[in-house]
Chains A and B, each alone.
Chain A
Amino acid sequence: MSLRPTHEIHNRRFGRNLGLGLVLVAFVALVFGLTIVKVTGGDFQMPKAEELN
């Protein structure tokens, strides 16, 4: 069997891994942004210290 440095399967795997990687990065960014929006929005309140004890 002749070997080539990059087989078509390699390309497909790379595309799949790259796609999944980008999706995960985008998801992290989205959750971060959503957290900022929720925390700075009017409907979020930090629990009072006395309620925590």
Chain B
Amino acid sequence: MTDASIPTQATAGEAGFGDYFALLKPRVMALVVFTAFAGLLAAPGSVHPLVGFCAILFIAVGGGASGALNMWWDADIDRIMRRTRNRPIPSGRVQEGEALSLGLALSGFAVVMLALATNILAGALLAFTIFFYVVVYSMWLKRSTPQNIVIGGLAGAFPPLIGWVAVTGEMAMEPWLMVALTFMWTPPHFWALALFMRSDYDDAGVPMLTVTHGRRATRVHILVYTILLALLAVGMGFTSLGGPLYLAVAVVLNALFLLGAVRIWRRDETDAEADNFAVERRFFRLSLLYLFLHFGAILAEAVLRPYGLGGWA
């Protein structure tokens, strides 16, 4: 082929490296890395640092692969929603088939490599997580039930469990508590987003709670889930994952989170529109900090434990 035959416009298959990386949802991957790392360090026992690094890397790649498969499946609604219109597929930079191929290849790669680097159970859990996110959440629940976020949140909650199992090779109660924390956090986090990104989900026909049950019901749901989440998060402080530092962080953050949820519950649409959903936006931003600091505190307790400073002992 000569240069004369090179088209002057961007064509299929001419995406840059960054476009393929964007398919892996780097921001979600960051959360996956952080929570998996917390699970890995909180687990009893130890692994070689390189094995630990590989475990986190392959969990992140598996999470990224499921993100690519999710973008492939949701390309039609991503084109409609303002928030997702610039993603690699809707913007035309990457073809749908490329995203599917990359997602499938990286899924298989991540599962096999995690199983080889750590153990079969960790690899199987990663495979289940990818299956749950892509098939159960993206293909089935997301467009069929307003509880999509609730059940689908389970997929995003698994990384700390996989990190834990990568070290121990077996299940325990503590990593399931970490799974429960992210699982219970997901609905208020996304419903707050749905409250102020109202037209996006409506336009795309995604049955978010705001669309199917109304905005009043969504506000009530946020409050109920936040109360349950606060009980769980503070209660975790008294398990072997917690300690004085975790408990202090959990008490402060959950008080703030509950306050935010009560404010959301007390408002109506007129109040919310008057200040452009300031309370809902603040609650959403706090929810990001909430999860980061809870897992940060679990991480800190685990790191301090060998020096006799972490935990209750």
Interface residues of A (CB under 8 A from B): 1, 3, 7, 9, 12-13, 15-16, 18-20, 30, 33-34, 37, 41
Contact = CB atoms under 8 A, between A and B. Distances in A.
Interface of B: 3-4, 6-8, 10, 14-18, 20-21, 48, 50-51, 54, 57, 116-117
23 contacts: A1-B8, A3-B3, A3-B4, A7-B6, A9-B6, A9-B7, A9-B10, A9-B14, A12-B14, A12-B15, A12-B16, A16-B16, A16-B17, A19-B17, A19-B21, A30-B54, A30-B57, A33-B50, A34-B51, A34-B116, A37-B50, A37-B51, A41-B48
B6 A20 contact: no
Contact of B16 (A15, A30, A33): A15
B47 to A, nearest CB: 9
B224 to A, nearest CB: 45
A15 B93 CA distance: 15
A13 B48 contact: no
Nearest to B58: A30
Contacts of A34: 50-51, 54, 116-117
A20 B17 contact: yes
Contacts of B50: 33-34, 37
A43 B7 CA distance: 56
Contacts of B20: 16
Closest 3 CB pairs of A and B: A19-B17, A12-B16, A16-B17
B17 A18 contact: yes
A33 B54 CA distance: 10
A30 B117 CA distance: 10
B303 to A, nearest CB: 22
Contacts of A37: 48, 50-51
A49 B117 CA distance: 26
A1 B3 CA distance: 11
Contacts of A19: 17, 21
Contacts of A30: 54, 57
Contacts of B16: 12, 15-16
A20 B19 CA distance: 13
Contact of B17 (A3, A15, A33, A41): A15
A1 B4 contact: yes
Nearest to B11: A9
B48 A7 contact: no
B124 to A, nearest CB: 19
Contacts of B21: 19
B14 A13 contact: yes
Contacts of A16: 15-17, 20
A10 to B, nearest CB: 8
A49 B6 CA distance: 60
Given A7-B3, A34-B51, 10 more contacts: A1-B8, A3-B4, A9-B6, A9-B10, A12-B14, A12-B16, A20-B17, A34-B117, A37-B50, A37-B51
Contacts of A41: 48
A51 B96 CA distance: 51
